[in-house]
Amino acid sequence: MTQPVDDAARRRRHRNERIVAVAGVSLLIAALIAFIRWNANEEERFHREKTYIPPKVAMTPAIRALQEYVRIDTSNPPGNEIAGAKFLANVLARNGIRSEIIESAPGRASLYARVRGRRPGEGLLLLSHIDVMPADPKVWKRPPFRADIELATLYGRGAIDMKSIAICQLAAFIGVARSGRQPERDIVFLAVADEETGGALGMHWLVEHRPDLLDGIRYAIGEGGVTEMIADRPTYFAIEIGAKQYVRLLFEADSMEPLLKLRRMMEPDFGGWEPERILPEVRKYFRELAPSRRMIREELSDIDTTIAHGRFWRLLKPYRDLTQNNVWIHWPQTDDHGASARGYMLLLPDEDPLVRIAWVRRKAEALGIRTRVVTVEPRTPLSSPESPMFRIIVNAASREYRVPAGAMILHRSSNDLRYLRRLGIDCYGISPYLVDAFQTATIHGVDEQIRLDRFERGVELTRKIVGRWAAGE
């Protein structure tokens, strides 16, 4: 007869623990925002007072190419990649390499080039996207498409996402083509349109209409990885092997009230505090990341014990998201026909999206809400963290930055590699250069920037990875 009381007490205790956790996380977020703002102000102060000593960086061909590429406005929307594709084609032509510009629609251009290897199959694709997010010059400190260089830092839209990775790949590709030795396997350079708005006129279109571009391709390298840093020092090199699934929804009702109620109930009910499942790849990622996470080292190093002892709530949300299926609903809007709210789900890679859609629909219908599915993509397999290509990346990155390297899954974003994974191609997202938290915050934001000494190391790392694969390692 005392069990219900014990359960109620336990629920109250867990609720109180969660309230404390929310308060703690809120304070942590506020402190982080304050630190980033302080860091930005300090950087500006150091620059003004000349107390900041930038690293010495020579104007190399790779830096010149990056500067020229960033100066080409390929904002999407509206989407007009043809000038960027022509720039890349001209660089290749100057190095004696033929390429093909492919338009999925007028001005929506991708570029393709291939160096043939000695033997068919096991080819490597270097994938980048030409388009960038729009940038409002009125809120930037420097014009977003002028590619200013100041204190060894290049400022401009696409500086990180992802024209810099494209130039790293281009330098490695040209290096193989001009080495005087035929590579053991094919190497393909592919820069595509329309990634920033989903890839319908880019990678998705190419898969449907130009599958010949992918003949003999076994592996692909693109964007998506993360370089973990603490106090300007790298601590972990994370290689993306997959991402959570996106499902976009539209909720409609006669008024805002049921939509607000659904919005409130989704977060705690759908992946709020307790994990759904721990994928083996996530467990391994937590264990490898643990040594560099002082405050939650114990929780990450043995996630199963953390869950068993009720300490899962101590993890920051990005880590919890890797174990959960999440749903987000935007603030409702009203018009003459009632109210509506956009929503989306982020599902674990092996989830059946139709099952989760049915779950949300039942919850919504109980409140008198109609649910429409806007987009749902098929399940996408994770890439192997045991392949020869993965080992080459791990070994090269570990030697370059002297840190552990391993696999990760994206928790809030996706990229064009998902289209290739569905074809059975093992794909790996990497950031070949170091990017700190302050610079990461400028991606898709204001004053996007990259330190050029770090960019040069990314060029060298990419050359080593591609060169080793071309040599047959």
DSSP letters, 168-224, are HHHHHHHHHHTSSS--SS-EEEEEES-GGGTSTTTHHHHHHH-GGGGTTEEEEEES-
Do 55 and 453 touch, CB atoms closer than 8 A?
A: yes
Please identify, in words, the CATH class of the domain defined by 243-376: alpha beta
259, 309 contact by CB (below 8 A): no
* pLDDT score, position 292: 84
Tokens of 342: 């956009």
- Which residue in 143, 190, 228 sits closest to 425, CA to CA? 190
Query: Considering the domain 61-224+415-470 in this protein, what is its CATH number?
Result: 3.40.630.10
- Position 377 scores a pLDDT of 87
- pLDDT tens per residue, range 192-210: 999 999 999 999 999 999 9
- Map tokens 């890349």 to a residue: 88
Q: How many CB atoms lie within 10 A of CB 350?
A: 13
From CA 173, how far away is CA 164, in angstroms rounded?
14
Per-residue pLDDT at 316: 86
pLDDT at 56: 81
pLDDT attached to residue 54: 76
Distance CA 428, CA 407 (A): 9
Model pLDDT for residues 59-89, shown as the tens digit of each residue = 999 999 999 999 999 999 999 999 999 999 9
pLDDT for position 57: 83
Structure tokens that stand for 88 in this block: 């890349």
Q: What is the DSSP string of 245-274?
A: EEEEEEEEESSHHHHHHHHHHHHHHTTSSS
The whole-angstrom separation of Cα 322 and Cα 339 is 32
Q: What DSSP element (H or E) covers 359?
A: helix 353-365
| Residue with the two structure tokens 């937590």 | 286
Contact call for residues 328 and 287 (beta carbons, < 8 A) = no
Q: Are 428 and 240 in contact (CB under 8 A)?
A: yes
- Break the chain into its structural domains and give their ranges: 1-52, 61-224+415-470, 243-376
pLDDT given for residue 2 in this prediction: 35
Residue 438: what pLDDT?
87
Please report the pLDDT score of residue 24 as a whole number.
Answer: 53
Per-residue pLDDT of the chain (473 residues; tens, 9 = 90+): 333 444 455 455 555 555 555 555 455 555 555 544 445 454 454 444 445 677 888 899 999 999 999 999 999 999 999 999 999 999 999 999 999 999 999 999 999 999 999 998 899 999 999 999 999 999 999 999 999 999 999 999 999 999 999 999 999 999 999 999 999 999 999 999 999 999 999 999 999 999 999 999 999 999 999 998 887 889 999 999 999 999 999 999 999 999 999 998 887 545 455 788 999 999 999 999 999 888 899 999 999 999 999 899 888 888 999 999 989 899 999 998 899 999 999 999 999 999 999 999 999 999 999 999 999 988 899 999 999 999 999 999 999 999 999 999 998 888 999 999 999 999 999 999 999 888 999 999 999 999 999 999 999 999 999 999 999 88
Tell me whether strands 187-192 and 245-253 are parallel, antiparallel or unpaired. Answer: unpaired
Q: Is the Cα dihedral 460, 173, 83, 165 positive or negative?
A: negative
The per-residue DSSP string of 25-40 comes to HHHHHHHHHHHHHHHH
Pairing of strands 426-429, 338-347: unpaired
